[in-house]
Amino acid sequence: MNNTRLRYLLSQYAGKTITQAEESELSDFLNAADNQTQLELLIEEAWIKSGEEDESIFPSPQLNQEPLRPLRPVRWLRWAAAVLLLVAGAGAWMLAKRTGNAGKEPTPVAVSTKKDVRPGGSKAMLTLANGKEITLDSTLKGTLARQGEANLHVSPGMLKYDQNRQSSTNTIAYNILKTPKGGQYQLELPDGSKVWLNAASSLKFPTAFVGKERRVELNGEAYFEVARNASQPFFVSVNKASIAVLGTSFNVMAYADEAAMRTTLLDGAVKVSQASSSSLLKPGEQSLLEPNGRMEVIEKADVNLAVAWKNGLTSFKSADIKTIMRQVERWYDVEVVYNGTIPSRRFTGDIPRDANLSELLRLLEISRIHFKMEQRKLIVMP
């Protein structure tokens, strides 16, 4: 098969317009061992054209802004990416090292189906005011407990504090919602504010908001949709900083292993403060707060990138491999170690968050970065 015909078939497959006869022709080509070299060269050609400095693995769709609405699989528009899907789906070879010996079986991708790692899901641990711990997962539902004047209702992946009347007590009891690596969870606070908690994160909050302010404490990452109440402003305490809110939508990413705390504003207004530094953000802006107190504001931030995790995607933009691997560690609950000198390349792309780890690694392997799984340890190699 000549390259022009192959490119055409792959583009038809990517656009889901391939006929049964064309699909059969493509399948016969992929299953023929002597076509390995031609296919690899075509993939490398596509990759070189996409640019070495910012290697766009596949196109970024317009992200869905509705809470946890199921996303359709990313539509692969590049024919090289179509090859990866075909190969991944068939469990066949991909990007094997050329040995120069015809007839030999190609080397399989390092993460085989048997060693594959499934993505994270809806799971968390709730600690009540009396210290009792309750495990939450995607199956739990019904009335869970009562805390003060709030009933705790749980549905798959979501915890809601239902406070039917104004609190008549000044006593503040605190609960803590904590997600493990490989976990995420939704929470509706007693005032109606909604929180999406990312993996390896925790939120400490009162079971009723009393007094002149509403205040919660965050570790890790969360997306907030704060209920408006001008007479009782909302505050998020995170690390040594404080974020003041009236009623707005914003994302806070403050993992300890990241270089800076990122607060990204989608709607409304927030004020980020630490010691003598402060900044009032407008929609579309992002503040970067470093541990030493230095603050920078990005006026035209990539809002979609900041909330991609909440919308069902693992996303990265011009990110190096270590930045991507930090996301991998948190979502797939694996330990990442580096063996040798890893190429300093940058990547841009999205993949559904419900994809297995091997699907993400296959895409990265195009750039000649390789991986090997040992139990829950992911080894990154040049």
Lowest mean pLDDT among 176-190, 211-225, 357-371: 357-371
Average pLDDT, the chain: 79
- Cα–Cα distance measured from residue 106 to residue 24, given in angstroms and rounded to the nearest whole number: 22
Vertex 298, ends 296 and 299: CA angle to 5°? 130
Residues 6+ apart with CB under 8 A from 38: 1, 3, 6
Could you tell me how many residues make up the chain? 382
Task: Provide CATH 3.55.50.30 ranges for the chain.
Answer: 1-117+312-382
In the numeric block, which tokens belong to residue 234? 């909302």
Q: Single out the residue of 196, 254, 195, 263 nearest to residue 226, CA to CA.
A: 195
Is the model more confident about 173 or about 97?
Answer: 173
The answer to whether residues 352 and 313 touch, using CB atoms and an 8 Å cutoff, is yes
The answer to whether residues 349 and 367 touch, using CB atoms and an 8 Å cutoff, is no
What pLDDT is recorded for position 42?
A: 62
pLDDT digits (tens, 9 = 90+) for 220-278: 999 999 999 989 999 999 999 999 997 899 999 999 999 999 999 999 999 999 988 89
What pLDDT is recorded for position 166?
A: 56
Q: Which residue, chain included where needed, has tokens 């190699």?
A: 381
The residue type at 205: F
Task: Provide CATH 2.60.120.1440 ranges for the chain.
Answer: 121-306
What pLDDT is recorded for position 306?
A: 97
pLDDT at 44 over 70: no
Q: Which residue, chain included where needed, has tokens 């691997």?
A: 325
Lowest mean pLDDT among 135-149, 244-258, 292-306, 321-335: 135-149
Is the model more confident about 316 or about 42?
Answer: 316
Specify the pairing of strand 183-188 against strand 121-127.
parallel
Q: In which band, very low, low, confident or very high, does the pLDDT at 79 lie, cut at 50, 70 and 90? A: very low
Is the model more confident about 25 or about 256?
Answer: 256
pLDDT at 57 over 50: no
The answer to whether residues 14 and 82 touch, using CB atoms and an 8 Å cutoff, is yes
- Cα–Cα distance measured from residue 308 to residue 37, given in angstroms and rounded to the nearest whole number: 36
What pLDDT is recorded for position 31?
A: 65
Encode burial over 107-119: b for 16+ CB neighbours within 10 A, e otherwise.
Answer: eebbbeeeeebeb
Is the model more confident about 229 or about 88?
Answer: 229
What pLDDT is recorded for position 201?
A: 98
pLDDT at 323 over 90: yes
Residues 6+ apart with CB under 8 A from 268: 226, 245, 246, 247, 248, 249, 250, 283
Lowest mean pLDDT among 47-51, 57-61, 281-285, 311-315: 57-61
State in words which class domain 1-117+312-382 has: alpha beta
pLDDT at 51 over 60: no
Q: In which band, very low, low, confident or very high, does the pLDDT at 78 lie, cut at 50, 70 and 90? A: very low
Q: Single out the residue of 318, 373, 379, 313 nearest to residue 345, CA to CA.
A: 318
pTM passes above 0.85: no
What pLDDT is recorded for position 170?
A: 61
What pLDDT is recorded for position 37?
A: 62
Lowest mean pLDDT among 35-49, 89-103, 329-343, 363-377: 89-103
- Cα–Cα distance measured from residue 175 to residue 273, given in angstroms and rounded to the nearest whole number: 25
- Cα–Cα distance measured from residue 40 to residue 23, given in angstroms and rounded to the nearest whole number: 19
CATH hierarchy code of domain 121-306? 2.60.120.1440
| HEC assignment per residue over the chain | CCHHHHHHHHHHHHCCCCCHHHHHHHHHHHHCHHHHHHHHHHHHHHHHHHCCCEEECCCCCCCCCCCCCCCCCCCCCCHHHHHHHHHHHHCCCCCCCCCCCCCCCCCCCCCCCCCCCCCCEEEEEEECCCCCEEEEECCCCEEEEEECCEEEEEECCEEEEEECCCCCCCCCCEEEEECCCCEEEEEECCCCCEEEECCCCEEEEECCCCCCCEEEEEEEEEEEECCCCCCCCEEEEECCEEEEECCCEEEEEECCCCCCEEEEEEECCEEEEECCEEEEECCCCEEEECCCCCEEEECCCCHHHHCCCCCCEEEEEEEEHHHHHHHHHHHHCCEEEECCCCCCCEEEEEEECCCCHHHHHHHHHHHCCEEEEECCEEEEEC
Percent of the chain topping pLDDT 90: 49
